[in-house]
Amino acid sequence: MSPVVRRALRQARTRSGLALAVVLGAVALFAPALTPYDPVEHLDPRDGALLGPSVAHPFGTDDFSRDMFSRIVFGARVSLTIAVVSVLIAISAGTAVGSIAGLAGGAVDAVLMRVVDALLAVPRIFLVLLVVALWDRVEVVTLILILGLTSWFATSRVVRAEVLSVREREYIGAARALGLGRMRLFFRHVLPNIAAPIVVSATLGVGHMILVEAGLSYLGVGVRPPTPSWGNIIRQGQEWILPGAWWISLFPGIAIVITVVAFSLIGDGLRDALDPRAR
């Protein structure tokens, strides 16, 4: 096991974060097994709407008499999938661009970095809203793509910096002296040595992406109902807070907090484990 991982796991916070994340992942994965009701089914339109938390409905029901617990559990599946997959896309794109820029140098590097600079200058919400507005119906898959492809810029900068530093290390020169080709050099020698900061970035990115997706869904431009997403549930519950149905917005909010905290703990733990001064 990598010494960095081992060091990270020695910290209580990494372990807690990891435990939480594992639980969340399990919840998302086994959603159908965990939920007694169908998340989009209107159970009892006459008497079953807006019921407070009870044994039958631990998180209550909403105005469409849907079981909130089931909705939130499925919402976990939706939100986590979106966050994780889009971060994966972002990391891949960012690593690709950053590596090319760092390894090629010269004009290629300059052009790529100026493009990244320009894209970074645009506030992301703007960018996403723009793209979403141009599309008519945004399904989850499209949403993932959009989020992923608008989040790789900062990663590419980090990766480029790491590549530049690793490139000059003597073991790269040694590998070239041994006759290793460029592909092998990159995948076996450069990439493993720049992986660590990328992983940290990815972990923290998931937490961040949860918030972004929640925000978009809250605004109405992310996941559209009836597909449950924590964000759109909060939006839906907003109008029911004053009338007294506080549970609709609260539980998804707590879920978001727990998720973001979990991934932040893991990311922080990893980042500290990477810090050479802590050795």
Residues 6+ apart with CB under 8 A from 108: 100, 101
Does residue 3 interact with other proteins by CB under 8 A? Answer: yes
Per-residue interface string for the shown chain with other proteins, residues 134-173, x marking contact by CB under 8 A:
-----------------------------------xxx-x
Q: How far apart are CA 91 and CA 81, in angstroms?
A: 15
Structure token pair of residue 39:
């998340």
Structure token pair of residue 99:
């590596």
Does residue 192 interact with other proteins by CB under 8 A? Answer: yes
* Binding to other proteins in span 166-185, by CB under 8 A: 169-171, 173-181, 184
Name the phi and psi angles at 133, rounded to 5: -65, -35
- DSSP, res 161: H
* Nearest CB to other proteins, comparing residues 2 and 54: 2
Q: Which of 7, 57, 77, 189 binds other proteins (CB under 8 A)?
A: 189
For the bound state, the minimum distance from the C-beta of residue 162 to other proteins, rounded and expressed in Å, comes to 13
* Nearest CB to other proteins, comparing residues 126 and 171: 171
Does residue 276 interact with other proteins by CB under 8 A? Answer: no
For the bound state, the minimum distance from the C-beta of residue 61 to other proteins, rounded and expressed in Å, comes to 52
| H helices present in the chain, as ranges | 3-10, 12-29, 31-34, 68-104, 106-121, 124-134, 140-149, 153-167, 170-177, 182-184, 191-219, 230-238, 247-274
Contact residues: other proteins, CB under 8 A = 2-3, 169-171, 173-181, 184, 188-189, 192-193
